[in-house]
Amino acid sequence: MSADTAAVVVDHVSKKFKLYRERNQTLKSAVMRGRKTVAEEFWAVNDVSFEVPEGHTFGLIGRNGSGKSTLLKTLARIYYPDAGSITLRGKAASLLEVGSGFHPELSGRENVYLNASILGLKRREVDARFDEIVEFSGVEKFIDQPVKNYSSGMYVRLGFSVAVHTNPDILVVDEVLAVGDGAFKEKSRQKFLEFTRDGKTVILVSHSLPQIREMCDQVAWLDKGTLREVGDAETVTEHYEKALVDEKE
């Protein structure tokens, strides 16, 4: 894979967290601690490098605490790497939690505009896509109701719909495919396929290996913050499954 077709280049990225023995964020504890640092360093992501080719769906797999989510948040510019760099070609949008930033007292319509602008869309652009967003979410009837009256499914569907309609070049997704009922899941799957058909890139984290195999072309396997393997989805998931079984024995 040559550099000019890579949508995302992850170059020796490391991210550390400080673990405080006392998780007490008060001035008193800081003063008592004095100059001594009691923080331990913990490398959640350690020297990970890979490239994500443009127009493909890329999966991140690994066990709990393997650093998938940290890496995803770093890709979404919520965390900043302590070492290494991430290069994104094009506009990136993240879908780590849908409907974040919804104001419960405001109507669905107002929240669509608010949420879309948090995700970086201009008012004009929302105007143009508004009907599409509402139709996709399937909450037409309730769009002028305050979202606090929405069922949790409606809430999530509307949030999801706004996010996928922000028209990013790179979409970063954290297990949100598990939202909504079967019909909506199928709809979102179709949307992702449409994305990659248009030459856009999707990066997703999932614990469901069948889903990963079905949707992803390439997969990176993370283990305790380091990269175990990256490559073809079938091969890597097979190795991963084998490792899980081996461990149990």
Partner 1 sequence: MTYLKELFATRELLYNLTMREVKGQYRRTVLGQLWSLLNPIATMLVYTVVFSFIFRARPHVGDPSGLDIYPLWLMCGLLPWLYFSRVVNGGLNSMVSNSGLIKKVYFPRMHLPFSVTASVGFTWLIEMGVLVLALQIFGGWPIWWIPVALLVMVLLAFFAVGVAMMLAITNVHFRDTQHFTTIVLQMWMYLTPIIYPLSLVENAARDIGDWVLTVYRLNPMERFVEVFRNLLYDNRWPELGDTLFIVAVSGIVFTLGFWVFSRNERRLAELL
Q: Which one, 27 or 245, has the nearer CB to partner 1? A: 27
Separate counts of helices (H) and strands (E) for the chain = 8, 9
Q: Is 2 helix (H, G, I), strand (E, B) or coil?
A: coil
C-alpha dihedral sign at 75, 80, 84, 86: positive
List residues binding partner 1 (CB under 8 A): 17, 25-28, 30, 73, 76-80, 94, 96-97, 100-101, 103, 105-106, 110, 113-114, 117-120, 122-123, 146
**Cα–Cα distance, 153 to 172 (Å, whole number):** 21
Please report, as a single letter, which amino acid is at residue 82: D
CB of 153 to partner 1, least distance (A): 19
DSSP secondary structure letter of residue 179: -
CB of 219 to partner 1, least distance (A): 24
Structural tokens at position 33: 């601690």
Q: Whose structure tokens read 């606090």?
A: 148
Q: Which one, 15 or 200, has the nearer CB to partner 1? A: 15
Task: Sort strands 170-174 and 92-95 into parallel, antiparallel or unpaired.
Answer: parallel
Q: Which one, 48 or 76, has the nearer CB to partner 1? A: 76
CB of 123 to partner 1, least distance (A): 6
Q: Which one, 70 or 237, has the nearer CB to partner 1? A: 70
Please report, as a single letter, which amino acid is at residue 1: M
CB of 29 to partner 1, least distance (A): 9
CB of 240 to partner 1, least distance (A): 27
DSSP secondary structure letter of residue 146: B
CB of 26 to partner 1, least distance (A): 5
CB of 201 to partner 1, least distance (A): 17
Q: Which one, 59 or 99, has the nearer CB to partner 1? A: 99
Q: Which one, 103 or 242, has the nearer CB to partner 1? A: 103
Per 3-state DSSP, the chain is made up of helix, strand and coil in percentages (nearest 5) of 40, 25, 30
Q: How far is CA 54 from CA 92, 172, 203, in A?
A: 13, 13, 11
Q: Which one, 12 or 123, has the nearer CB to partner 1? A: 123
Where is 53: in which H helix or E strand?
strand 40-53
Task: Sort strands 226-232 and 218-223 into parallel, antiparallel or unpaired.
Answer: antiparallel
